[in-house]
Amino acid sequence: MIDVEDLIALVRNYNPKTNAELIRRAYDYGRVMHEGQKRHSGEDYFTHPVAVAAILTEQRLDDATIVTALLHDTIEDTKSTFTEVSRQFGEEVAELVDGVTKLTNLQLTSTETKQSENFRKLFMAMSKDLRVILVKLADRLHNMRTIKSLQAPKQARKARETMDIFAPLAGRMGMQWMREELEDLSFKVLNPEARSSIIRRFIALQRETGDVIHKITADIRAELEKAGIEADVFGRAKKPYSIWRKMQEKQLAFSRLSDIYGFRIICQSEADCYRILGVIHQRWYAVPGRFKDYISQPKSNGYRSIHTTVSGRDGKQVEVQIRTRQMHEVAEAGVAAHWSYRDGVRAQNPFAVDPTRWITTLTERLETGDDHDEFLENVKLEMYSDQVFCFTPKGDVIQLPKGATPIDLAYAIHTRIGNACVGAKVDGIRVPLWTRLKNGQSVEIITAAGQRPQATWIDIVATGRAKAAIRRSLREENRERFVKLGHELARVAFEHVGKKASDKALRTAAKTLGLANETEVLARLGSAELTAREVIEAIYPELVSHPAEEIEGHHSVIGLAADQSFRRANCCQPVPGERIVGITYRGQGVVVHAIDCPALAEFEEQPQRWVDLHWHSGRHAAVNAVSLNLTIANGAGVLGRICTIIGEQKANISDLTFVDRKPDFYRLILEVELRDAEHLHMLLKALEAESDVAQVERIRDLSRKP
């Protein structure tokens, strides 16, 4: 473990004015709080926070971030509190530690809706202070470096989460070195055979060709000396995962890959960058289509560099990156460069991006969608996207993700332009709307009055903004259909309680529910945003109240301690009548699983967390949500009849999502609220008996945990 004085020395290397006493106090406090705790490897737990702090010193971060790293697990895993941290180390540090704690508690690989909610929380935490995610990324990096001590299933889960979320996020923040290391560490866990194979091929290639990197580096230096340009030249082989991904994308064998080596030239000025580019292209052949100028068109995270691929020594293709020293600092630190220190003061790098502006550009287009899955899809699109730059006929530059189409560009200009788009010209030539745009193309959008977005556009476009606008337009177009369906649902539901769904009754419901008018009530009813039960209860609450003998949800489980709360597990969704067991979670009470739930396997070695439970006998309230996978015929009135059947069974639809729409069938996920296992059995039988239902089954999904 790094000694406190060694840690302070690491900080002093870039910040001689550091508050050494603050770091010492945080180091001592963290060591005392974590005393007696061990990592899976058997080491003292405090070695982990210290290692995280050391990683952050490599990015030359401020004292508050270093102290946060030392304390980042104290609120979560020790008896320390937010108030105590705030009192001893200040409000700023306490807020940062609390932010990291909240990120640690997010289950980012849980069910889709839960995952999207957690992504919202992730971006909310980032928007408050980006240093929170910098600490979390360093935390994840150290955990991945020491992952061997975990059991194989947990290693795989951590590696997949890292590959899917944290590595792309590091890349999106401009910290490419961290992205590459996180990807490679995950790759080592998820596909060790493939990684070992690539390393062996590298070794064999080096035996055959000698030290290619040294030779090409020497060639570049010689050319720069001839031109009288001072610059540093570095070369390296690309990471195993980067090579593996390229092999998969291009479906090429290792022997057919060309640019497996990369070279970086660091110079003094922007003018030198372009002079060096000329020298490189004069000496070696440029590979067409492999040139990118991120100096004239920087990435949104501040990244600036010239990229070119040339056919070098012995015909081997190599990638060359050219940038100034200041550009290189931002390329290494990304958005973190905003907090970097040099000689005791905040480094004034003109290329460092203001994190507030960066997070705004990342999230401004993600907050418009109301749909959870839509938000999650948009976030992932934004995180994984590379960029292309296109021009409008007026010469304005539009920045789009790789794979974008003319429709994306139309929506990037204005939603009205996107909605009215009927065609496009690229470099003066008419092209299909599904054409993938390339760097430097001039794009003209052709519009027509009365044009509306097509449903097929959702699968064509690549930007979250376009997808959200198209879906919004389609929802408005479907409104009339939803109103008709809602009218039928209301009629049946009101007749069921001996009432009539008159305009006056619906207006009264609208007023009670805080909606504009009766049409809005019907539209929400038809789109499943509102249930018939809620509409009736708004007017006639006495008709839908539960019988007095019904067992309330919070009293339905026996076996809990007086101060324990419980919730049903998302993965198995147990209902009264099924055998159950509880698993305790710190700060979350008890999670109730069905006794045959596969998720219980991971707790076999933790018997102290198991709680023997059973359901209270008696009539339970219909409040236990169960998810059903339903395939129905695509016909007039079918969905209305399905809703009627469910209503007749005294069940309530709490959520409805269309998963797949085909010309002849729809597949949808229904979440229904039921009393118990017998109620579920009755509902399934009633649905199976309906001729327009092709298939119905209960969903028990292990990925939706806990």
Task: Examine residue 598 and say whether the peptide bond preceding it is cis (omega within 30 degrees of 0).
Answer: no
Q: Are 154 and 162 in contact (CB under 8 A)?
A: no
Type of residue at 502 = S
Strand-by-strand arrangement of the 443-447 sheet: 429-431, 421-426, 443-447
Q: Are 670 and 627 in contact (CB under 8 A)?
A: yes
Buried b / exposed e over 425-436, threshold 16 CB at 10 Å, is ebeeeebebebe
Catalytic residue among 76, 92, 332, 537: 76
Angle formed by the axes of helices 91-105 and 131-145, to 10°? 50
**Tokens found for residue 182:** 């996180």
Buried b / exposed e over 20-37, threshold 16 CB at 10 Å, is bebbebbbebbbebbeee
151: left (phi over 0), alpha (psi -120 to 50) or beta: beta
Residue 496 makes CB contacts below 8 A (sequence gap 6+) with 647, 648
Strand partners, 248: none
Residue 596 burial (CB count, 10 A): 12
**Tokens found for residue 479:** 């409104």
Q: Are 324 and 272 in contact (CB under 8 A)?
A: yes
Full DSSP string of 141-204:
HHHHHTGGGS-HHHHHHHHHHIIIIIHHHHHHTT-HHHHHHHHHHHHHHH-HHHHHHHHHHHHH
Q: Rounded to whole angstroms, how far apart are CA atoms 137 and 68? A: 13
Q: Are 265 and 307 in contact (CB under 8 A)?
A: no
Annotated catalytic residue 343:
no
Q: Rounded to whole angstroms, how far apart are CA atoms 517 and 528? A: 17
Annotated catalytic residue 503:
no
Catalytic residue among 3, 35, 44, 77: 77
- Which positions are annotated as active-site residues? 76-77
